[in-house]
Amino acid sequence: MKLIPHSKPTLSPKDIAAVSHVLKSGALAQGKKVLEFEGKVARYMGVKAGVACNSGTSALHLALLALNIGPGDEVIIPSFVCSALLNAISYTGARPLVVDVKEDDFNIAPLEVKAKLNKKVKAIIVPHMFGCPADLKELLRFGVPVIEDCAQSIGADYMGRRAGSFGALSICSFYATKVMTTGEGGMVLSNQIKILDRIRELREHNYKMTDFQAALGLSQLQKLPDFIKKRKQIARFYDRAFAESGFKIPPKDENRDPIYYRYVIKSKKRAGIVIEQLKKKGVGASLPVFKPLHHYVPGSPCPVADRLMDQCVSIPIYPDLTYGQIQQICSIKLH
């Protein structure tokens, strides 16, 4: 039985042609295509401008530097997320304060953030986990600059606006298996032009995006609404299939319109057991994150993140899934 991959990029002949056109032109480095990509992503996200770079981690590092964050400062981050956040903070010399997350949506818990606030805290990084916007309304009340991490959520809406248009800055990742891809790549977005000008200065010479990456991004951006539509369609199949299975499926919220970058189910069984059972039935599944970040930072217990790590499994959800593959996944009974 051929295994259905847990994740994969969605590429078309048009994507390949777009990259090929730039390669044939000989204009390979950062240039007009990058500038065009920055403008179109910014308009899509509902902000004034963006600065493209070579990865999401680089984007986050640049965002922190642009806020003048360095040694002696502290940055609040959630535990249930990838280690890129820790890496970006460490590059500045600042100290991460890791907090727990909400059990229902996997996002940073505002009450936990409030408990950690002090004069040294210069930013809160808020990932919109698995494509579901976090509780921004509460977080923005704290008066600390919010950096929205849209690596998994480009196209998601919160309170009628794009996630990524609320904070002081937002960042995107365009890694191979993200919602849309440039192979490797990222972007910082903001309504604060002076901050973005500073980021452009910092981007030279090490963090630049190439024109052929931007060409792929422009092609992918045209298809992003279709990508998101397909993800939502698959999610509806899963909602129906798993409603009576004993799994807890992602919550619904009238203020948030998620894009289902990941479809994460919570099981009564240990996550590792469920992953192995799915694999035997031809379905690639994965832990949602590699390891909660409080395990890297001493003195930051996060019981909800630990519980989610034990119970949660991410199953395939991407535009290239065929109807037959979706039905195969929906037919699986795990008890």
Rounded-to-integer distance, Cα 156 and Cα 272, Å: 29
Question: What pTM does this model have?
Answer: 0.96
User: What is residue 157's predicted lDDT score, i.e. its pLDDT?
Assistant: 96
Pairing of strands 169-173, 186-190: antiparallel
Domain count within the chain: 2
Spatial separation of the C-alpha atoms in residues 72 and 302, rounded to whole Å: 24
Can you give the pLDDT at residue 1? 74
CA proximity to 97, closest of 82, 85, 84: 85
Does 259 lie in the same domain as 133?
A: no
User: Among 171, 203, 220, where does a domain finish?
Assistant: 220
Q: Residue 334: is its pLDDT beyond 80?
A: no
> 239-297 pLDDT, tens per residue?
998 887 767 766 677 889 999 999 999 888 899 999 999 999 999 999 999 999 999 99
Q: Which of 267, 317, 309 is nearest to 287 (CA)?
A: 309
In this prediction, residues 32-38 reach a mean pLDDT of: 98
Does 196 share its domain with 240? no
Residues 233 and 150 in one domain: no
Residue 283's pLDDT is what?
97
Q: Are residues 210 and 235 in the same domain?
A: no
> Do 300 and 96 touch, CB atoms closer than 8 A?
no
Name the β-bridge partners of 315.
263
196 and 323 inside one domain: no
pLDDT at 267: 86
What rounded mean pLDDT belongs to the chain?
95
